[in-house]
Chains A and B, each alone.
Chain A
Amino acid sequence: MEKILSKPKVWVPVVILAGMLVILMIIQLINSCYAVNALLKKEGLNYQVENSAGWNEYETRNLKKDIFWYEQLLILSQADSIYLAFDLQDSLVQIGIKGFNMVQTKILHLHPSDFLKDLNEDSYRHFTTINPIVEETACIPKKAVKKVIAYSDNEEHHDADKLPVYDIPLSWSFTTGSNLRVVITGVKRMADSSFSLQPTQDFVKYRFLEFIKQPVSKHYNPTIYLWLCDQDAKAIFRAVPPGGKVLFRN
């Protein structure tokens, strides 16, 4: 017995570390409440809003959402620039110009599945209206520009067919003007035309990187994770200009 007591207490640092983790967890939890409140305050959203007639009925609400969607698309179709539209109800992502869909691709998987679905009318309109992309990051460049100096013996210049090919699946995330965050992952098509979809693995990777970057964040961005065909996702990513307009429907 004396022997045990005289041993260094190994459990002390373990308990201290565990205590620190629990404290960090509590901080994260409390902070997430503040972050959500801060977002709602920033966006000027009133929680206890009285919806207009019919919003609480599923069919009427969908009709109102349809009207809002087409109104927004008609506004976008007046402009000359390429826009990005997320039709979460039909699981489609489209890029269009002047109302014409140049690319339309199926959403292979999304998380969360009820993103923006059951909001009150004010909040729904606020988050699904036309918004610009304010911040974006991706694993490949939007324009793989190669600089060539004239009259110099630059071999690259003559090897145009050796331009860089970005074969890695797309990982693209952006935040809209209404503080929504979209994370798009490209999914490669396999030889048998099926997709090698690993949403859980990708999701863990994203969440882990976000956690490492900022374990306690003061800002909250409602985030949707989308998995799209890599080929289409890359075409969409390259087509949407910086600061391009984005539209949602669910």
Chain B
Amino acid sequence: MESKRLVIRKHSLVFSFIAGLILFISISLFLIPSFSYWLFSLSTKTTSGTMPLTETELNHMQQKAALLERNFNRISSPGYSFLIINTTHNTFGLYRNREMIASGLCSTGSLIHLEVDSLQSWMFETPKGLLRVRNKITNPVWRKPDWAFIEEGIQPPPPGHPSRYEKGVLGDYALDLGNGYLIHGTLYQRLLGMPVTHGCVRLKDTDLELVFNTLNIGSKVYIF
């Protein structure tokens, strides 16, 4: 009988300890943060005793809100046609009159940092932000920069050397975004949807043609 009581006592101690521990954990994990937020909200809560707005003031405020919204919408309007590039998922969306007319896969910068020495290095990254189409080129010729040769493990030839010019590798069209970045075609269609470029945006031939025909010089290209 005594040993039974001892066992019950032992078990009840263990049980109460576990219950206490659970209570402690839940208080520490949930109740104290909630209490802190409640205290924060209470301390910064709105106070009473203010006069309501007159009808004229309210009308004035409504007009101001509407005007600001209009101004913002005017600024935020991207214009007739624009392109959005998602460098995380390597996708694009082509818009005309605020409607998406095409979407699909593209390839963007590989984020490879090619280093020759402490003085010479390149980062193959597609620039993010708002860019504009500066020029439209048909049958573009790729003028190979130094990194293209270095990547192949050969010394770059002098500027203007015939080996620096390659036809057909950029597809039928190219849209110049400035600073050497282009939207162009690719021979490596299987790599579309992957971050494999040197900073340019590669598109499938049919998509490229549609983008080329839709965007004008000055059209906005949003890259994120």
Contacts and interface: CB of A to CB of B under 8 A. Distances in A.
30 contacts: A4-B5, A25-B24, A25-B28, A28-B27, A29-B32, A32-B36, A32-B39, A40-B44, A53-B53, A54-B52, A54-B57, A61-B46, A67-B64, A74-B71, A98-B75, A98-B76, A100-B222, A102-B222, A102-B224, A144-B111, A146-B111, A148-B114, A151-B116, A160-B110, A163-B196, A208-B29, A220-B40, A238-B87, A239-B128, A239-B224
Interface string B30-59: 101111110111011111111111000110
A225 to B, nearest CB: 10
A17 B103 CA distance: 62
Per CB-CB distance, the 3 closest pairs between chain A and chain B, nearest first, are: A99-B76, A70-B68, A123-B44
B21 to A, nearest CB: 7
Interface in A64-107: 64, 66-67, 70-71, 73-74, 77, 80-82, 95-103
Interface in B157-185: none
B46 A51 contact: yes
A29 B76 contact: no
B17 A28 contact: no
Given A97-B129, A215-B28, A235-B88, A160 B46 contact: no
Interface string A210-233: 010001000010110000000100
Contacts of A18: 17, 20
Contacts of B101: none
Contact of B40 (A39, A57, A211): A39
Interface in B51-90: 51-53, 57-58, 61-62, 64-65, 68-69, 71-72, 75-78, 84, 86-89
Interface of A: 1, 3-4, 7, 10-11, 14, 17-18, 21-22, 24-25, 28-29, 32-33, 35-37, 39-40, 45, 47-57, 60-61, 63-64, 66-67, 70-71, 73-74, 77, 80-82, 95-103, 112, 114, 118-121, 123, 143-151, 157, 160-161, 163, 204, 207-208, 211, 215, 220, 222-223, 231, 234-235, 238-239, 241
A120 B65 contact: no
Contact of A63 (B30, B50, B61, B88): B61
Contacts of B72: 70, 73-74, 77, 99
A204 B64 CA distance: 44
Nearest to A222: B40
B46 A33 contact: no
B8 interface: no
A36 B17 contact: no
B150 A151 contact: yes
B129 A120 contact: no
Interface of B: 2, 5-6, 10, 13, 16-17, 20-21, 24, 27-30, 32-37, 39-41, 43-53, 57-58, 61-62, 64-65, 68-69, 71-72, 75-78, 84, 86-89, 110-116, 123, 125, 128-130, 150-151, 153, 190-191, 194-196, 220, 222, 224
Given A82-B224, A145-B113, A119 B46 contact: yes
Given A21-B20, A118-B45, 4 more contacts: A18-B20, A57-B53, A60-B53, A223-B37
B115 A147 contact: yes
A145 to B, nearest CB: 5
B20 A82 contact: no
A121 B75 CA distance: 27
Contacts of A241: 128
Nearest to B69: A70
B111 A143 contact: yes
Given A77-B76, A150-B150, A231-B89, A63 B116 contact: no
Contacts of B47: 48-51, 120
Contacts of B87: 238
B39 A56 contact: no
A96 B76 contact: yes
Contacts of B112: 145-148, 157, 160
B153 A151 contact: yes
Nearest to B21: A21
Contact of A4 (B6, B37, B113, B220): B6
Contacts of A119: 41, 44-46
